[in-house]
Amino acid sequence: MSLRRQDHRRAAVPIVEAVQRYLASDPKRFHVPGHKGSLGAPPAVRELLGARVFDADLTELPGLDDLHEPSGPIRDAEALLAELKQADHALFLVGGSSAGLLGLMIALVAPGDRVLVHRNCHRAVMAGLILTGANPVYLLPRCHQDWAMDLLVEPEEYVQAAERYPDARLAIMLHPSYYGVVCSLRDAIGKLRYRGVTVIVDEAHGAHFGFHPKLPQSAYTQGADAVVQSAHKSLGALTGGAWLLAREGSVDVHRLRSALRLIQTSSPSYPLLASLDAARAWAYAEGREVWGRVLDCARRLKDLLCGVKGLRVLRDEDVGRWGFSIDPTRLTFTLAPLGWDARRVDEHLRTDFGVFVEMQDGRNLLCILGPGDWWGSPSISRLIEALQSLAHCPQSGMLPDLPCAPPLPKQVLSPREAYFAPSERVPLARAAGRVAAQLITPYPPGTPVLCPGEEITPQHIEYIQGMSARGVRFVGLDEASRLTVVAGT
Ligand SMILES: Cc1ncc(COP(=O)(O)O)c(C=O)c1O
């Protein structure tokens, strides 16, 4: 095939085109969705979103396709994604990377199987442990004391764990972290696969990897058996849009599709699927140029912010000693040297400058840069103005030191046993000796203090109380500081 024809084929958008064909046929609709295009849409939301969204909100009609057994435009779009990502299989997801992680775990793990997993896993992984009845071996991420931040589990830790637990069937890794911390996984993945351990990687924040030589390499190209990526997080797809890449021979794709049928809707959104299709085609056609612009913007922004007194930007040098580096498109910064609590910075940026960051964790703030950002754009200029203004208002005092995290608790029951056991709610202060039935984890996302099935000790209680006193919120604790424990333990 000539290069031009090949380019033309790869830039095609089969799902977008199928929707356009349907709309061009002047359809009279007697099928779901019940809004029948814009005519039957609730006026307030039609006004908010525009009629076109409703027109394109379709279902499995002739000429369109079935996400769960694709044989038309969805199959073609998935094949183009697989080609772009040089993957054996690519599957679109409408329930985010969460659905992909759950689907993979259901497809790959049987009750009682041992799974090596990073302790700071996303709650979808925890849901996968509960649903499958797997036995987790949690691996602790490296903690950066100065930044009070959990980074990644060093990949070699997985290899050592696989030696300690030769019955481990599956390893689940995180790459990158929420803050954009990345590392080379190739060696560890090779060793794990050699031992018969299947490796899946939560790359929810790395859908853009590989589209420019200065971006990190995707875990799939480093040998992972399966990878999930949230195209909605960094590639401009609509929220909930993600995809999954899988290797032939490691993942049975029929089983995987059947697992995804268990957990995803039978009515996937066509606007969302079309956005995945278009995100893939755009990345193919202009990815290098677009991400080159983002990288240039990120570099100049970080260089400028590094010169602002009292403001620190997380850079490769901060994490290099563990063999980690930072996705250059992530901007993590702190004003802790000036005594600024990140919650106050967040509020100040929002209320005084209309700047909304991705998250703050009490000390650090995270901004995500993507295709909508370029050097000199109004939003980048506003961000710079806002941060420079902060540096001019000196704060007094120091941020309180955070208490050291307690050791990993003893696992008494599997997450599934604990989750489904009869349970009761008790005050945190009286929970020592009981077994947690649910996750207790700091929010914004951090490393869980207690996972379902783990024994609660006075040290854990003291730690949670100490962190709460410093304003840290815990998911799993209600307003009265009660948590759910297994009854009778
Ligand atoms: C590390 C990580 N994994 C998985 C997910 C789930 O991704 P999604 O929102 O696409 O379901 C998230 C979401 O924030 C995440 O941060």
71 shares its domain with 41 = no
Mean pLDDT of all residues in 465-482? 90
318 in a structural domain: yes
Q: Is 270 exposed, middle or buried (0-12, 13-18, 19+ CB in 10 A)?
A: buried
70 shares its domain with 57 = no
- Peptide bond preceding 415 in cis form (omega within 30 of 0): no
Last residue of a domain, one of 345, 376, 391: 391
Averaged pLDDT score across all residues of the chain: 94
- Among 64, 338, 105, 405, which residue's Cα sits nearest to residue 228? 105
138 shares its domain with 226 = yes
Last residue of a domain, one of 64, 86, 118: 64
196 in a structural domain: yes
- Among 373, 67, 96, 358, which residue's Cα sits nearest to residue 231? 96
The protein residue with its alpha carbon nearest to ligand 1, atom 7, reads: 97
What is the rounded (10 degree) CA torsion for 386, 390, 393, 395?
150
Residue 396 pLDDT grade (very low, low, confident, very high; cuts 50, 70, 90): low
| Residue 58 amino acid letter | L
d(CA 13, CA 159): 41
Query: Could you give the percent of the chain with pLDDT greater than 90?
Result: 86
Tokens of 342: 């990140």
- CATH number, domain of 477, equals 3.90.100.10
First and final C-alpha spacing in the chain? 67
294 shares its domain with 279 = no
pLDDT score of 364: 93
**Mutate which of 91, 92, 122, 327 to test ligand 1's pocket (most atoms within 8 Å of Cβ)?**
122
Model confidence pLDDT, tens digit, residues 130-188:
999 999 999 999 999 899 899 999 999 999 999 999 999 999 999 999 999 999 999 99
* Residue range of the domain that includes 331: 287-391
Is the model's pLDDT at 398 over the cut of 80? no
181 shares its domain with 322 = no
Count of helices and strands (H, E) across the chain: 17, 19
Model confidence pLDDT, tens digit, residues 437-458:
999 998 876 789 999 999 999 9
421 shares its domain with 465 = yes
85 in a structural domain: yes
Q: Tokens 């297994």 — which residue? A: 486
Last residue of a domain, one of 247, 266, 284: 284
Would the CB of 177 count as within 6 Å of ligand 1?
A: no
Determine the distance separating the centroid of ligand 1 and the alpha carbon of 204, expressed in angstroms.
Answer: 5
Q: Tokens 């060093």 — which residue? A: 154
Would the CB of 96 count as within 6 Å of ligand 1?
A: yes
Mean pLDDT of all residues in 274-303? 97
Residue 1 pLDDT grade (very low, low, confident, very high; cuts 50, 70, 90): low
d(CA 443, CA 64): 41
Would the CB of 325 count as within 6 Å of ligand 1?
A: no
Q: By mean pLDDT, which of 177-181, 307-311, 378-382, 402-406 is the weakest?
A: 402-406
Helix or strand (DSSP H, E) at 486 = strand 482-486
The protein residue with its alpha carbon nearest to ligand 1, atom 9, reads: 96
What is the rounded (10 degree) CA torsion for 445, 450, 453, 454?
150
Long-range contacts formed by 343-348: CB under 8 A, 24+ apart? 343/471, 345/390, 348/386, 348/390
pLDDT score of 48: 97
Is the model's pLDDT at 60 over the cut of 70? yes
Higher pLDDT, 373 or 335: 373
Do 383 and 367 contact (CB within 8 A), yes or no? yes
- CATH number, domain of 159, equals 3.40.640.10
94 shares its domain with 147 = yes
pLDDT score of 472: 86
Is the model's pLDDT at 435 over the cut of 90? yes
Tokens of 314: 């997380």
The rounded Cα 126 to chain-centroid distance in angstroms is 13
Is the model's pLDDT at 374 over the cut of 90? yes
Helix or strand (DSSP H, E) at 350 = helix 342-353
Tokens of 382: 């506003």
pLDDT score of 5: 72
Would the CB of 234 count as within 6 Å of ligand 1?
A: no
Torsion sign over Cα 413, 107, 67, 124: positive
Phi, psi of 126 (to 5 degrees): -65, -40
252 shares its domain with 315 = no
pLDDT score of 2: 66
450 shares its domain with 308 = no
Mean pLDDT of all residues in 70-75? 98
401 in a structural domain: no
Query: Could you give the percent of the chain with pLDDT greater than 70?
Result: 98
Q: For the chain, how big is the Rg over CA atoms in Å?
A: 24
pLDDT score of 407: 87
The ligand 1 atom nearest the CA atom of 93: 10
Q: Tokens 């057994």 — which residue? A: 69
pLDDT score of 440: 95
Model confidence pLDDT, tens digit, residues 10-54:
889 999 999 999 999 999 999 999 999 989 999 999 999 999 999
SS3 198: strand
Do 118 and 195 contact (CB within 8 A), yes or no? no
256 shares its domain with 151 = yes
Q: Is the pTM of this model over 0.85?
A: yes
Residue 402 pLDDT grade (very low, low, confident, very high; cuts 50, 70, 90): confident
Would the CB of 180 count as within 6 Å of ligand 1?
A: no
Model confidence pLDDT, tens digit, residues 243-287:
999 999 999 999 999 999 999 999 999 999 999 999 999 999 999
301 shares its domain with 362 = yes
Would the CB of 178 count as within 6 Å of ligand 1?
A: yes
Would the CB of 204 count as within 6 Å of ligand 1?
A: yes
330 in a structural domain: yes
396 in a structural domain: no
Do 416 and 126 contact (CB within 8 A), yes or no? no
333 shares its domain with 429 = no
If one counts the domains in the chain, the total is 4
The ligand 1 atom nearest the CA atom of 99: 11
